[in-house]
Structure 1
């Protein structure tokens, strides 16, 4: 049984990673933006964390603050993000998506939904239900 589980684990990992890469590539192709996948991810993190400190983003992503600074610099230069100081402690630097950053993130989410729907539509209704329910069950264990 352990060998079978190992085989399923390997197959799942390979398939999940391939699906993620293909979906990401398709989103970037259809989005027609100069942003990279990591930059889009950063815009999503900034949106989710609601004007976070740069250090908070570094902690969440498990990287050094200098890595975040470089990416934020590029997003500031492209007009997708702004930096601002905390209202009561000027030493704290916050980041926020600009309207342009929010718009491209919204567009990317819509493109991603369309691409995923296109893939899911290839499954017969019964398999689609089983696939989604099984994936929800799998995900709920974490």
Structure 2
């Protein structure tokens, strides 16, 4: 049983990593942007966190603040992000998506939904609820 579980673990890991890469590649190829995958991920995090501190972004991504600074610098230069100081503590630097950044995230989200729908359409009507329920159950401990 342990060997069988390990074999499924390897298969799942390979399929999960490949599906993630393919979805990201498809989204990047279909949106009208020169952003990289990490930059798009950063815009999504900024949108989700609603004007986070740069240090929060570094913590979430598990990188040093200097790495975030470089990425944010590029997003500022491309017009996707702005930095602003906290109203009460000017030492704190907050990051916000510009209208251009928000538009890219909106477009990427819509494209991602279509890409995932294409993949899910490969399942039969009987397989679809089983697959989604099983995946939801799989991620529930996390």
TM-score higher than 0.5 here? yes
Superposition pairs of residues 65-84 of structure 1, within 5 angstroms: 65-84=65-84
TM-score, normalised by the number of residues in structure 1 = 0.98
CA positional deviation for 1:128: 1.0
How many aligned residue pairs are there? 142
User: What do residues 29-84 of structure 1 show as CA deviations (whole Å, max 9, x unaligned)?
Assistant: 01131011100100011011110110111111111000000000000000000000
Where in structure 1 are there 5+ consecutive unaligned residues? none
User: What do residues 75-102 of structure 1 show as CA deviations (whole Å, max 9, x unaligned)?
Assistant: 0000000000010111110000001100
How large is the RMSD of aligned CA atoms in angstroms?
A: 0.7
TM-score, normalised by the number of residues in structure 2 = 0.98
Work out the CA distance in 1 between the residues paired with 2:62 and 2:124. Answer: 40
CA positional deviation for 1:122: 1.4
What residue is the counterpart of 2:105 in the other structure?
A: 105
Work out the CA distance in 1 between the residues paired with 2:112 and 2:121. Answer: 14
Where in structure 2 are there 5+ consecutive unaligned residues? none
